[in-house]
Structure 1
Amino acid sequence: MAERRSNRGRGTSLTPGKIIEAALRLSDHDGGLDRLTLRRIASELGVGTMTLYSYFRSRDEILDGMADYVLGRMRLPTEPPTDPAEAMREVGLAFLDMMHEHPTVIRLFGSRVTDSRPALRGAMEAPLQRLVDAGIPGPLAVRCYGFLITYTIGFASYQVPRPWGRTADTDSPEHAEQRRQRVHVYAALPRDEFPRLVELADELATLPTNQQFLVGLEGFITSVLSRTENSVQH
């Protein structure tokens, strides 16, 4: 592994984009932001640490670049929705997909603010436009956006250390086994102390699943639609 990494950067021209991609690889899959150092990034690319300073002045600049990279590439479905409920659903799921692909962004949201135009276009302008195009008034679209992004950050944070939930849709053998073990943890508790946990062990193991995310999302959508319908009637 060390030899493979040390040779990765050789024979290719180094660019800021390649540095950001390497930093994301390490942070997403190999220890998170806490272990992300310039030395590890340089090793991943097969270059000396000082080489990175030709492109970025500090680790903080790389973190800003990582946030811009992920947020600027947020993807929404090509076909716009025809109703407000579908628009809110699409934006919420797009945020969740982005955080699944790059778990690092969850921490970045909680520690940094970016004003770069690519990030603002990808993760703010485009989702807001999608909501407004579906018929949601601008001020309400802003409130919907605020809920969707903060709800997704919180839920994705809950999912990260509970991998058996995130892939319940595909139900890989590994994660199915992890869920089975989680059910066993609850079911094996003393019933006199934890009657509800024992009784609901199967359901509790589904808490970090995407289906649970949709429960909260659909509840919010119902609330928004009910509020807008009432305002129109009055």
Structure 2
Amino acid sequence: MTTPYLSAAEPVWERPEPRTRSAPVPLSRAKIAATAIRLADEHGLDGLSVRKIAKELGVGPMRLYDYVVNRSELLDLMVDAVYARIAAADRPSDWRAAIVAIARLTRVAALEHEWFADLLGGRPHLGPNALAVGESTAAALSRAPGVRDIADLQRAAGTLSAFLIGALRREVTERRTARSTGTDERAWQASLGPYLTRQLETGRYPTIARLVIDGADLEPEEDFDRNLTTVLDGITGRPAPR
């Protein structure tokens, strides 16, 4: 049974580790999270279960419930372990360079751990490492020229978050689709090329035609950086009159 995210019990990050038991396999929340991450990387979140983690660790499933009470807490530990690498990286002093660094590291994390992208945009990530990344992000955004008060900061943070969630989920979805179909994006585009050409030649879609014919064909990393630049340019600008 899954308990509410915010309950009267201490959050998993603040509960002390269970007392060491005389067992052949020592456990810790960090060890459980690392094993769960490895399994999720291989099989996705659908293939993740307490029983599989316990088998991988060589212990009985009930031992794991001394450390995490449900699947939600397990996911919380996994997510925060991924955020740890982002939180540990050095931050440039310039606000914009700091945001770019955080965004790029988040992209790397999502591509290394595709399940991480599935969990972006759901319930808030409130582990200590996630909070550290959130603090660095908010602090950098608060120094942007177009951010003058808390309302501006909320809008800037929301816009950046929406961009990251959408961009990373799209890229991960495209990678998964390519693997499942055995077709990369260029091959897919080539297979539909004649159809698309016929449709564009009708003249009914002039703006789409400009995008397809004249638009830059960028690699995913270049596309991510360019769109991130557009978002940050917007944050530095003045809001439209109300």
Using structure 2 for the length normalisation, give the TM-score. Answer: 0.68
1:76/1:56 CA distance change after superposition, 3 Å? closer
Aligned-partner residue type, residue 33 of structure 1: L
| Residue 97 (structure 1) aligned to one of 86, 92, 108 | 108
SS in 2 for 1:74: helix
| Residue 129 (structure 1) aligned to one of 112, 117, 139 | 139
- Distance in 1, matches of 2:189 and 2:216, equals 7
- Distance in 2, matches of 1:100 and 1:203, equals 25
Is 1:224 aligned with 2:224?
no
| Residue 112 (structure 1) aligned to one of 102, 113, 123 | 123
1:69/1:40 CA distance change after superposition, 3 Å? same
Whether contact under 8 Å (1:128, 1:145) holds in the other structure is yes
1:16/1:85 CA distance change after superposition, 3 Å? closer
1:218/1:76 CA distance change after superposition, 3 Å? farther
Q: What is aligned with 1:209?
A: 220
Aligned-partner residue type, residue 136 of structure 2: A
Aligned-partner residue type, residue 62 of structure 1: L
Is 1:27 aligned with 2:37?
no
Moved more, 152-161 or 85-94: 85-94
SS in 2 for 1:80: coil
Q: Deviation at 1:164?
A: 9.3
Moved more, 44-53 or 126-135: 126-135
Aligned-partner residue type, residue 186 of structure 1: L
Q: Deviation at 1:161?
A: 2.6
1:5-44 superposed matches below 5 A: 13-30=26-43, 32-44=44-56
Is 1:163 aligned with 2:166?
no
Deviations 1:39-83 (A, max 9, x none): 22222323322221232222222112122222344247525243x
Q: Deviation at 1:210?
A: 1.9
- Distance in 1, matches of 2:148 and 2:88, equals 20
- Distance in 1, matches of 2:128 and 2:33, equals 17
Whether contact under 8 Å (2:144, 2:236) holds in the other structure is no
Q: Deviation at 1:158?
A: 0.6
1:148-187 superposed matches below 5 A: 148-163=160-175, 178-187=184-193
Moved more, 154-163 or 44-53: 44-53
Using structure 1 for the length normalisation, give the TM-score. Answer: 0.70
Deviations 1:17-60 (A, max 9, x none): 11111111222332x22221112222232332222123222222
Q: Deviation at 1:13?
A: 2.7
Whether contact under 8 Å (1:42, 1:49) holds in the other structure is yes
- Distance in 2, matches of 1:110 and 1:222, equals 23
Q: Deviation at 1:152?
A: 0.8
Identical counterparts, % of pairs: 26
Q: Report the RMSD for the aligned CA atoms in angstroms.
A: 3.7
